[in-house]
């Protein structure tokens, strides 16, 4: 909520604490203050519109993306009668939408999803978020480890942001367990550097990969769009490539 503006450590005596993990998200004043905002960041010039809807019973086990002109609308199953909607829209288009009310946006969502969802009812309000790419250069310092979106933020088109966080968590858990078993100091720079060395390179490549994908879906030129669509159609027919891509989305990179 931004209530905590800064943290001062009374003592660096590690009998008081070994490790502090900061997971206050991407827009945290705390992180910016402590880490001097050492990051690579740029705005996609887009806003995400998110909400959840109830609908008639369907076998809801497939996530879908509807690629519109300059907009992507994702349907992410929650249950057979509930779906989460993530719709990314260019800021200039969003400004036009903003002059209208939420009812207008709800009507658009119903219109776009009508082939998949019937009898749609909105069960949460509509939320907005600016969409950015963020890659933090430094993962830790002085017994403080950054975590989650504080480290990396990607475009939601691939639905991979939290998956990256979970992979980091698996690495962190394994490394810390191992060090605790050996009786080592878990906040020491050697251990934090091990966590960082394992997670940072793969997060870097993964973030750039998603950014590349996002840029491919932002092509405006017809020839580029046609070329992209041809590649997607070809890849879609190739089960070997599809398996590789599913595996990448599921498990990430392994070096």
Ligand X SMILES: Cc1cc2nc3c(=O)[nH]c(=O)nc-3n(C[C@H](O)[C@H](O)[C@H](O)COP(=O)(O)OP(=O)(O)OC[C@H]3O[C@@H](n4cnc5c(N)ncnc54)[C@H](O)[C@@H]3O)c2cc1C
Residue 188 is a binding residue for ligand X (CB under 6 A): no
Minimum distance of ligand X from residue 192's CB (angstroms): 18
Minimum distance of ligand X from residue 149's CB (angstroms): 4
Angle CA 169–174–180, to nearest 5: 120
Closest Cα partner for 100 from 157, 45, 49, 155? 49
Do 18 and 143 form a contact (C-beta atoms < 8 A)? Answer: yes
Instruction: Give the residue with the Cβ less far from ligand X, 187 or 252.
Output: 252
Q: Report the residue from 161, 213, 216, 248 that binds ligand X according to the rule CB under 6 A.
A: 161
Instruction: Give the residue with the Cβ less far from ligand X, 120 or 147.
Output: 147
Q: How far is CA 224 from CA 58, 215, 237, in A?
A: 36, 11, 20
Beta-ladder partners of 64:
75
- Lookup: tokens for 42: 């740029």
Q: Please tell me the count of residues contacting ligand X according to CB under 6 A.
A: 23
Minimum distance of ligand X from residue 165's CB (angstroms): 5
Beta-ladder partners of 121:
54
Instruction: Give the residue with the Cβ less far from ligand X, 86 or 145.
Output: 86
Region near ligand X per CB under 6 A, out of 23-31, 32-40, 93-101, 137-145: 23-31
Query: What is the rounded distance in angstroms from the CA atom of residue 152 to the CA atom of residue 133?
Result: 8
Query: What is the rounded distance in angstroms from the CA atom of residue 189 to the CA atom of residue 42?
Result: 29
Do 140 and 31 form a contact (C-beta atoms < 8 A)? Answer: no
Residues numbered 47-76 forming contacts with ligand X, rule: CB under 6 A: 48, 50, 76
Cα atoms found within 13 Å of the Cα of residue 129, Cβ hemisphere only: 16
Q: Report the residue from 9, 42, 162, 227 that binds ligand X according to the rule CB under 6 A.
A: 162
Residue 216 is a binding residue for ligand X (CB under 6 A): no
Residue 4 is a binding residue for ligand X (CB under 6 A): yes
Instruction: Give the residue with the Cβ less far from ligand X, 156 or 252.
Output: 156
Binding mask 99-138 for ligand X (x = CB under 6 A): ------------------------------x---------
Query: What is the rounded distance in angstroms from the CA atom of residue 50 to the CA atom of residue 52?
Result: 7
Check residue 151 and report its DSSP letter. Answer: T
Comparing every residue's Cβ against ligand X, the nearest one is 148
Rounded to 10 degrees, the C-alpha dihedral 147/32/184/178 comes to: 10
Binding mask 140-159 for ligand X (x = CB under 6 A): --------xx------x--x
Residue 25 is a binding residue for ligand X (CB under 6 A): yes
Region near ligand X per CB under 6 A, out of 17-25, 89-97, 103-111, 239-247: 17-25
Q: How far is CA 241 from CA 163, 208, 238, in A?
A: 21, 20, 6
Binding site for ligand X (CB under 6 A): 1-4, 23-25, 28, 30, 48, 50, 76, 86, 129, 148-149, 156, 159-163, 165
């Amino acid at each position: 909520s931004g209530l905590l503006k800064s943290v001062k450590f009374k003592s660096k005596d590690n009998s008081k604490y070994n490790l502090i993990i900061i997971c206050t998200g991407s827009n945290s004043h705390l992180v910016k203050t402590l880490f001097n905002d050492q990051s690579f960041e740029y705005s996609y010039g887009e806003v995400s519109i998110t909400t959840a809807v109830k609908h008639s019973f369907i076998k809801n086990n497939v996530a879908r993306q509807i690629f519109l002109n300059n907009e992507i609308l994702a349907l992410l199953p929650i249950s057979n009668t509930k779906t989460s909607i993530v719709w990314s829209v260019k800021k200039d288009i969003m400004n036009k939408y903003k002059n209208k009310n939420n009812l207008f946006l709800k009507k658009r969502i119903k219109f776009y999803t009508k082939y998949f969802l019937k009898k749609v009812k909105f069960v949460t309000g509509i939320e907005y978020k600016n969409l950015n790419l963020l890659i933090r250069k430094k993962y830790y310092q002085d017994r403080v480890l950054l975590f989650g979106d504080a480290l990396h933020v990607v475009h939601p088109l691939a639905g991979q942001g939290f998956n990256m966080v979970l992979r980091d968590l698996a690495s962190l858990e394994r490394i810390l367990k191992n060090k605790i078993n050996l009786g080592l100091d878990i906040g020491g720079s050697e251990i934090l550097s091990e966590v960082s060395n394992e997670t940072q390179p793969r997060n870097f490549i993964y973030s750039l990969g998603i950014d590349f994908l996002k840029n491919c879906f932002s092509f405006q030129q017809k020839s580029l769009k046609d070329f992209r669509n041809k590649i997607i159609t070809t890849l879609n027919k190739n089960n070997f490539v599809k398996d590789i891509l599913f595996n990448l989305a599921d498990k990430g990179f392994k070096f």
